[in-house]
Amino acid sequence: MEQNLDKLIENYLAWDKNPKTLSEIQALIEKGDREQLGARLYGSLSFGTAGIRAPVQGGFKRLNYLTVIQITHGFARHMRNVFGNGKL
């Protein structure tokens, strides 16, 4: 499990381009707060009855620029699968 967290940290640091959320994760790494890193990085956001809700913070399980891009990418792929490559 610890190796998985290390890989998640590595991926997040490579993919997040927002200085604010990136610095949040870097600060947690410097503090050695693996519990908070795990809470923010393990898993992904899910769509519930109230839509997608989470604190606005750094991490894969939080709302931020990176996760909004990932959500939008997933939605676009879904639309392409449903409607094909033609115009909607």
- The pTM of the full predicted model, rounded to 2 decimals, is 0.84
What residue segments make up the domains of the chain, in order of their start? 2-83
CA distance 64 to 62: 6
Half-sphere exposure of 62 (CA within 13 A, CB side): 19
- Reported confidence tier of residue 3, pLDDT bands at 50, 70, 90: low
Residues 7-60 pLDDT 10s: 999 999 999 999 999 999 999 999 999 999 999 999 989 888 888 899 999 999
The whole-number pLDDT of residue 50 equals 84
